[in-house]
Amino acid sequence: MAQAPARPGALLRVEHLVQRYRARGAVVHAVSDVSFDLLPGECLGLVGESGCGKSTTGRAILQLPRPTAGRVVLDGEDLCALDRRRLRHRRHRLQMIFQDPVAALNPRRRVRDLVVEGLDIQRQLPGGERAARADALLRDVGLDPELVGDRRPHELSGGQCQRVAIARALAVGPDVLVCDEPVASLDVSVQAQVLTLLARLRAEHRLALLFVAHDLAVVRAVVDRVAVMYLGTIAEIGPVDAVYDTPAHPYTRALLDAVPVPDPAVDPEQAPSLTGELPSPLAPPSGCPFRTRCPRAADRCAAERPLPRAVGPDHHVACHFPLVDPLPDSTSGDGSHEDGFGRPAGAGERAGRDRA
């Protein structure tokens, strides 16, 4: 699905990203023609139901594995076009924090060694300076290196392990940090501490964050912009307050309606909810991916895939019948469309070549 226009000064541009997997003779359409951008210091949230492609998108950006088609452009350089050697020299600019911090850390290595492993691989500092760098990073994330530096992950709490994972990601000086459900496995009190830490580090290091999460309340408190994913596509993207306060896509509205409201006057049984099951990525529906569950679906939704239309400043929705009126001239007068990169809609996927 073609997406909104890229903004000037973008640090990272994801253009028509496609990720497919082969499974027992079938093809899993995990991510389908996704595009967005990130400015320096900006935080973009990716939200949606489990299985919608959020984490796969984050991993594809880091080339873990390489996407099937599309482009991931960092400072004007397409990472998808680099060979393994050149890509290795760019990896320090994009790092990832994984959902399960304990599983993400090598249980046999000490904390201090885990933090400097990236420096060893990238050969960024002389050996004698790496231990001092590790200690400084541990202090930066709120850990005492004298207490935890020689411990192993199983000797730490989940919150401490996540702090170690953050220090490890920051060690190589990234510009972009992909946070894949970074607080989902933590207690509520620890979640708040980690979120506060990420906000501080983002401001201090001017990091661009891609924040993958399913907790909509957490996302609103953390991000500047939010993209709502459904079945491997972006249904809506825009400033977080605009998307939450005036959702334009029926799926976004359904997700927000499902958030529990701490109000005794609200009957949870009366809250609108999604009907039906998420279609299989092995056989996604024709036309609009959401049409099989959408209360506003019509014949057009099965025949045509909706293109993104502007419904507000930097706010775009891919829906034939949005909940908010599109802005004038959000599509060309003759009914033809160009995507945000000046190409006919769908050109990115047509031009992409399978890299599997």
**DSSP, residue by residue, 221-258:** HH-SEEEEEETTEEEEEEEHHHHHHS--SHHHHHHHHT
Return the SS3 of 28: strand
Are 311 and 324 in contact by the 8 Å Cβ rule? The answer is yes
- Work out the mean pLDDT of the chain and round it to a whole number: 87
What are the tens digits of pLDDT across the range 56-84? 999 999 999 999 999 999 999 999 999 99
User: Is pLDDT above 50 for 12?
Assistant: yes
Grouping H, G, I as helix, E, B as strand and the rest as coil, residue 15 is: strand
Residue 139 and residue 145 in contact, taking contact as beta carbons nearer than 8 Å: yes
- Asked whether the predicted pLDDT for residue 180 surpasses 90, the reply is yes
Handedness of CA 178, 183, 189, 190 (dihedral sign): negative
Judge whether residue 348 has pLDDT over 90: no
What does the pLDDT look like over 156-170, one tens digit per residue?
Answer: 999 999 999 999 999
Q: Contact 167/174 with Cβ under 8 angstroms?
A: no
Confidence of residue 185 (pLDDT cuts 50, 70, 90): confident
pLDDT bin (cut points 50, 70, 90) of residue 267 is low
For residues 324 and 316, the answer to whether their CB atoms sit within 8 Å is no
Question: Tens of pLDDT along 280-290?
Answer: 999 999 999 99
Q: What are the pLDDT digits (tens) for 32-64?
A: 999 999 999 999 999 999 989 999 999 999 999
Name beta bridge partners: 209: 43, 177
Q: Contact, 236 vs 324, CB < 8 A? A: no
What are the tens digits of pLDDT across the range 304-317? 999 999 999 999 99
Residue 81: HSE in the Cβ half-sphere, 13 Å Cα cutoff: 9
Q: Considering all CA atoms of the chain, what is the largest pairwise distance in Å, rounded to the nearest integer?
A: 68
For 62-88, give one letter per residue: b (16+ CB within 10 A) or e: bbeebbbbbbbbbeeeebbebeeeeee
**What's the CA angle centered on 56, arms 53 and 57, to 5 degrees?**
85
pLDDT tens digit string along 115-163?
Answer: 988 887 777 666 678 888 899 999 999 999 999 999 999 999 999 999 9
Q: What percent of the chain has pLDDT over 90?
A: 68
User: In this structure, how many other beta carbons lie within 10 angstroms of the beta carbon of residue 332?
Assistant: 9
Place of tokens 């990073």: 137
Q: Which domains does the chain have, with CATH numbers?
A: 1-75+180-261+269-356 (3.40.50.300), 84-174 (3.40.50.300)
Handedness of CA 63, 69, 70, 75 (dihedral sign): positive
Annotate 162-177 with b (16+ C-beta within 10 A) or e (fewer): bbbbbbbbbbbebbbb
DSSP 338: B
What is the average pLDDT across 78-96? 93
CB 167 within 8 A of CB 137: yes
Find the distance separating the first CA and the last CA of the chain, reported in whole Å: 21
pTM, two decimal places? 0.86
Asked if residue 278 has pLDDT above 60, the reply is yes
Q: What is the DSSP letter of 5?
A: P
Residue 288, pLDDT score: 96
CB count in 10 Å sphere of residue 141: 22
Local structure of residue 7 (DSSP, 8 states): P
* CA distances (Å), origin 176, targets 12, 45, 262, 279: 8, 13, 35, 32
In the chain, the amino acid numbered 180 is D
